[in-house]
């Protein structure tokens, strides 16, 4: 399977502190990958570099084989179909649910935005649909996470990278967010989640990558014997 996104020799530091070292990664098109690791392992840095939100100090990012490293900037690679949902769901709390979604297709003609809005609402839970004219801040944490995913979908991305979707959510709500992500993957979108907790990711992903102290320490398919072994030995922080 060809890689939609790839990292080649990625290294990064913050004021001399090593965040990532020599990361080699291929994200196969149309698959669901979970990148797991403890606090401070470098997940957020990798998410931002893969999505083109920050430029790595070393190495290249390839999008369908083309070097896009130099395109990194505030907007990331969204124009090229790669959406990043950073940690902490940044919604515009005082804007309505509708308005938040519309921002995801900013710059598109009205008819396009409205057509997409309808498609995205079809994927949202009832409470989000019902609340379209309410301020986003009135939604529950899980609904807000869904809304943030919905806003990313308004750009019709080919890939969606999401940093700690489970953060601060009850397990039942996390499961709903993951169901939504699995549905996207079935629809052909490439999904990458970055998580500290392996439980939900393991249930939905096709493959996992573990990072520790800025380096990849394990990779495998979710059904691989080696992955089960790694789980049994607590290697994945279970």
Residue 97 beta carbon to ligand ATP: minimum distance, rounded to whole angstroms: 27
Residue tagged 């997409």 (tokens): 116
Least CB distance to ligand ATP at residue 210 (A): 11
Exposure string of 209-235, with b = 16+ CB inside 10 Å and e = fewer, is bbbbebebebbbebeeeebeebbeeeb
Interaction between residue 14 and ligand ATP (CB under 6 A): yes
Question: Shortest Cβ distance from residue 135 to ligand ATP (Å)?
Answer: 28
Min CB(166)–ligand ATP separation in Å = 11
What's the CA gap between 221 and 227, in Å, rounded? Answer: 7
Residue in 41, 35, 230 with CA at minimum distance from that of residue 238: 230
Distance (Å, whole) CA 201 – CA 43: 14
Within positions 166 to 205, which residues make up the interface with ligand ATP, using CB under 6 A?
Answer: 196
Interaction with ligand ATP in 33-92: which residues (CB under 6 A)?
A: 37, 39-45, 87
**What b/e string do you get for 57-92 counting C-beta neighbours within 10 Å, with b at 16 or more?**
eebebbbeeeebbebbeeebbbebbbbbbbeebebe
Distance CA 107, CA 202 (A): 37
Instruction: Considering the complex, state which of residue 36 and residue 155 has its C-beta at the smaller distance from ligand ATP.
Output: 36
Q: Is 94 in the site for ligand ATP (CB under 6 A)?
A: no
Rounded to a whole number of angstroms, the minimum distance from the CB of residue 202 to ligand ATP is 18
Instruction: Sketch the per residue contact string, 115 through 154, with ligand ATP: x for CB under 6 A, - otherwise.
Output: ----------------------------------------
By residue count, the chain amounts to: 238
Residues between 17 and 36 that touch ligand ATP (CB under 6 A): 17, 19
Binding site residues, ligand ATP, CB under 6 A: 14-15, 17, 19, 37, 39-45, 87, 196
């Amino acid at each position: 399977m060809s890689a939609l996104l790839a990292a080649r020799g990625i290294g990064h530091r913050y004021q001399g502190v090593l965040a990532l070292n020599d990361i080699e990664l291929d994200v196969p098109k149309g698959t669901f990958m979970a990148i797991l690791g403890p606090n401070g392992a470098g997940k957020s840095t990798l998410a931002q570099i893969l999505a083109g939100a920050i430029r790595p100090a070393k190495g290249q990012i390839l999008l369908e084989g083309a070097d896009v490293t130099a395109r990194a900037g505030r907007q990331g690679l969204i124009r090229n179909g790669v959406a990043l949902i950073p940690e902490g769901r940044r919604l515009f709390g005082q804007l309505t649910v509708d308005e938040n979604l519309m921002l995801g297709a900013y710059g598109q003609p009205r008819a396009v935005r409205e057509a997409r809005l309808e498609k995205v609402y079809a994927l949202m839970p009832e409470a989000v649909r019902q609340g379209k004219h309410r301020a986003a801040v009135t939604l529950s944490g899980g609904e807000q996470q869904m809304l943030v995913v919905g806003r990313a979908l308004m750009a019709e991305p080919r890939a969606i990278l999401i940093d700690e979707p489970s953060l601060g959510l009850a397990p039942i709500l996390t499961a709903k967010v993951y169901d939504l992500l699995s549905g996207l993957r079935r629809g052909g979108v490439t999904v990458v989640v970055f998580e500290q907790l392996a439980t939900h990711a393991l249930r939905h992903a096709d493959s996992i990558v573990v990072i520790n102290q800025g380096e990849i320490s394990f990779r495998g398919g979710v059904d691989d014997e080696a992955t089960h072994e790694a789980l049994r030995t607590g290697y994945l922080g279970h």
